Structure 1
Amino acid sequence: MQVLELKPLKNKKLKIKLVESEFPVDWSLEVPNNQTEVLGDTFFISRQYLALITDLIKKERPDFVVEDKGIRPFVETNGDDEFVKIFSEEGIPYSLVDIPEYALDYISLPLTNKKELIEKFDVEIKNYKEKRTVYYNDLHFQQLVLWKQYLKDEYKEEENEIRYKIREAWMMMGILKFAKLLDKRHLVTLFICDKRHFEGILFLAKELDIECDIINIKKIAKNFDKATSVSGIMKKSVIEIMPIKIKKKPKEEKIIYFFDTDEYCSPFDTNMGYDAGFDVVLPFPRMTADRVEKLVQDAMFSRRMGAPTVYFIGGSNVEESDKIADAVLNALVPPFESPVIIDPRGAHTTASAIVAKTIEIARMHRINALANKKLVILGGTGPVGQICALIGSKLQAKVYITSRREKAVKSIAEELMKKAGKGASQINGVVVITDEEKFEVLKDADIIWSVGKAGIQLVSKKLMKRLPSNKIVVDLNLVPPYGIEGIKPNFNNKEFCSGIYGIGALEIGRLKYKIENKILKEATTRKGKVIFDYNIAFRYAAKMILGSEIEIIH
Structure 2
Amino acid sequence: MILIESEFPIDWVISPLPEEEGILGNIFFISRDYMQFIEGLVKKYKPDFVVEDKGMRSNEEILSDEDEFTAIFKRGGISYRMVDIPEYALNYISSPILNKKALIKKFSGEIEEYKRRGQVHYNDPHFQQLVMWYEYLKEDLKAQEEELRYKIRESWMMMGILELAKKQQKKELTAFFICDKRNFDGIVFLANELDITSEIINIKKVAKELEEKNSVEEVIKSSVLEIMPIKMKKKEKIDKILYFFDTDEYCSPFDTNMGYDAGFDVVIPYCKMTAERVAKLIQDAMFSRKVGAPTVFFVGGSDVEESERIAQEVLKSMVPPFEYPIIIDPRGAHTTASAIVAKTLEIAKKHGIKDLSNKKVVCLGGTGPVGEIAAIIASKLNANVFITSRREEYVKDLAKSLTIKAGKKAKKIEGVAANSDEDYYEIIKDADIIWSVGKAGIQMVSKEIMNKLPKNKIVVDINLVPPYGVEGIEPNFHDEEFYPGIYGIGALDIGRLKYKVESTLFNKASMTKGKTILDYNVAFEIATEVLFGEIIKISI
- Count how many residue pairs are aligned between Structure 1 and Structure 2: 523
**Who is 1:215 aligned against?**
201
Compared CA separation, residues 208 and 162, structure 1 to 2 (3 A): closer
Q: 1:93 aligns with which of 78, 82, 93?
A: 78
Q: Distance in 2 between matches of 1:194 and 1:308?
A: 33
Match status 1:383 vs 2:369: yes
Match status 1:332 vs 2:303: no
Partner SS for 1:43: coil
Compared CA separation, residues 486 and 216, structure 1 to 2 (3 A): farther
Partner SS for 1:392: helix
Q: 1:48 Cα shift?
A: 6.0
Compared CA separation, residues 272 and 223, structure 1 to 2 (3 A): farther
Q: 1:292 Cα shift?
A: 2.8
Q: How does 1:36-115 map to 2 (within 5 A)?
A: 36-38=20-22, 42-46=27-31, 49-50=34-35, 52-53=37-38, 56-57=41-42, 60=45, 62=47, 64-74=49-59, 77-85=63-71, 87=73, 91=76, 93=78, 95-98=80-83, 105=88, 111=93
Partner SS for 2:198: strand
Match status 1:485 vs 2:477: no
**Who is 2:455 aligned against?**
469
Q: 2:159 aligns with which of 160, 169, 183?
A: 169
**Who is 1:351 aligned against?**
337
Q: 1:489 Cα shift?
A: 2.2
**Who is 1:18 aligned against?**
3
Percentage of pairs with the same residue? 56
**Who is 1:288 aligned against?**
274
Q: 2:432 aligns with which of 441, 446, 449?
A: 446
**Who is 2:421 aligned against?**
435
Asked if the contact 2:47/2:174 (under 8 Å) is kept, the reply is yes
- What 5-or-longer segments of structure 1 have no aligned partner? 1-15, 126-134, 137-145
Match status 1:360 vs 2:350: no
- What 5-or-longer segments of structure 2 have no aligned partner? 108-124, 127-135
Residue by residue, what CA displacement relative to the aligned partner does 1:484-508 show, whole Å, maximum 9, x if unpaired? 2232223222222222222222221
Asked if the contact 2:464/2:475 (under 8 Å) is kept, the reply is yes
Residue type of the alignment partner of 1:538: F
TM-score by structure 2 length? 0.82
Q: 1:109 Cα shift?
A: 8.2
Q: 1:32 aligns with which of 6, 13, 16?
A: 16
Compared CA separation, residues 425 and 240, structure 1 to 2 (3 A): farther
Q: How does 1:27-426 map to 2 (within 5 A)?
A: 32=16, 34-38=18-22, 42-46=27-31, 49-50=34-35, 52-53=37-38, 56-57=41-42, 60=45, 62=47, 64-74=49-59, 77-85=63-71, 87=73, 91=76, 93=78, 95-98=80-83, 105=88, 111=93, 162-177=152-167, 179-180=168-169, 188-199=174-185, 201-203=187-189, 205-206=191-192, 210-217=196-203, 243-426=229-412
Asked if the contact 2:328/2:518 (under 8 Å) is kept, the reply is yes
Q: 1:42 Cα shift?
A: 4.0
Asked if the contact 2:244/2:269 (under 8 Å) is kept, the reply is yes
Compared CA separation, residues 239 and 405, structure 1 to 2 (3 A): farther
TM-score by structure 1 length? 0.80
Asked if the contact 2:442/2:467 (under 8 Å) is kept, the reply is yes
Partner SS for 1:428: strand
Q: Distance in 2 between matches of 1:426 and 1:117?
A: 70
RMSD: 4.2
Q: Distance in 2 between matches of 1:117 and 1:100?
A: 20
**Who is 1:539 aligned against?**
525
Q: Distance in 1 between matches of 2:472 and 2:226?
A: 77
Q: 1:477 Cα shift?
A: 1.7
Residue by residue, what CA displacement relative to the aligned partner does 1:197-236 show, whole Å, maximum 9, x if unpaired? 4345435545666432112345689999999999999999
Asked if the contact 2:474/2:490 (under 8 Å) is kept, the reply is yes
Asked if the contact 1:31/1:71 (under 8 Å) is kept, the reply is no
Q: Distance in 2 between matches of 1:274 and 1:370?
A: 36
